[in-house]
Amino acid sequence: MKPKIAAPAPAPTRRSRRPVPIDVPVLDRLSLRIPSGQKTIVSGVVATPARLRRRIRELARSIQDDFGNREWVVVALLNGSVLFVADLVRELHGPLILDFIGVSSYGDGTESGKLVYTKDLKFEVAGRDVLVVDDILDTGRTLSEVIRRLKSLGARRVRSCVLLDKPSRRVVKQGADYIGFQIPDWFVVGYGLDYAERYRHLPFIGVLRPEVIAAAARERVR
């Protein structure tokens, strides 16, 4: 299935130093060819492993062109971005340093709540160019808070990369410089994305079945 392409972003002004956005494929149709063993977990597949690989290669090319040869720091948000960043950095030439920051939002499993830092950076980012990597841009609260923190730590330039973007869910005015795919308001799991810490290991991204959420809610009541 050929993905739809979002309308191209307006041309940057002469004074803009933001990277030129590349077209973002919109994934709004589900494939029902679900790997066996996962049919009770997901109702359809949003992105296959092959689709993810191809898109990550495109993102890496664009990031590498923008960052160039001055050493930069990739800051990946734990835990959701782990599979994505592992594949992304292997497509980058660098020179780069890979570091991790832990942020958790305590909500009910599908809704984000209050943000708490669970792990600090190991590396000093003051005066450095930084690329923040996250799995998904949803309300925008997480990315906006992490960018604020990196800037307050003195990062010279902060750019952001997310694998998925759900623009319809935005609460905070926050975009990303590099976006893998846009998706509708679906709760997705796999390729690092979890529901109650489960399903991160799936090699594809799929839409979580509502029955799974209902069963977890029943468990919580017991």
Question: How remote is the C-alpha of 33 from its chain's centroid?
Answer: 24
In the complex, least distance from residue 44 CB atom to ligand XMP, rounded to whole angstroms: 14
Whole-angstrom Cα distance, residue 169 to residue 186? 10
Is residue 142 close enough to count as binding ligand XMP by CB under 6 A? yes
DSSP 135-191: EEESSSHHHHHHHHHHHHTT-SEEEEEEEEE-GGG--S----SEEEEE--S--EEBT
Is residue 180 close enough to count as binding ligand XMP by CB under 6 A? no
Quick check: helix, strand or coil at residue 29? Answer: coil
Residue linked to tokens 């062109």: 65
87, 138, 165, 177: the catalytic one is 138
In the complex, least distance from residue 200 CB atom to ligand XMP, rounded to whole angstroms: 8
Whole-angstrom Cα distance, residue 107 to residue 212? 17
Q: What are 178's two structure tokens?
A: 């590099």
Is residue 139 close enough to count as binding ligand XMP by CB under 6 A? yes
Sole window of 9-17, 28-36, 124-132, 184-192 interacting with ligand XMP (rule: CB under 6 A):
184-192
Of the residues 87, 138, 165, 177, which one makes contact with ligand XMP according to CB under 6 A: 138
Nearer to ligand XMP among residue 39 and residue 198 (C-beta): 198
Q: Give the contact letters, 43-82, x = binds to ligand XMP (CB under 6 A), - = no.
A: -------------------------------------x--
Of the residues 88, 131, 137, 147, which one makes contact with ligand XMP according to CB under 6 A: 137
The verdict on whether 129 is a catalytic residue reads no
Of the residues 135, 161, 176, 177, which one makes contact with ligand XMP according to CB under 6 A: 135
3-state SS string for 98-126: EEEEEEEEECCCCCCCEEEEEECCCCCCC
CA dihedral 93, 94, 95, 96 (to 10 degrees): -140
Whole-angstrom Cα distance, residue 10 to residue 6? 12
Of the residues 38, 43, 194, 196, which one makes contact with ligand XMP according to CB under 6 A: 194
AA letter at 10: P
In the complex, least distance from residue 23 CB atom to ligand XMP, rounded to whole angstroms: 22
Nearer to ligand XMP among residue 91 and residue 194 (C-beta): 194
Task: Kindly list the residues in this chain that would bind ligand XMP in the complex (CB under 6 A).
Answer: 80, 105, 112, 134-143, 187-189, 193-195
Q: Which residues are catalytic?
A: 138
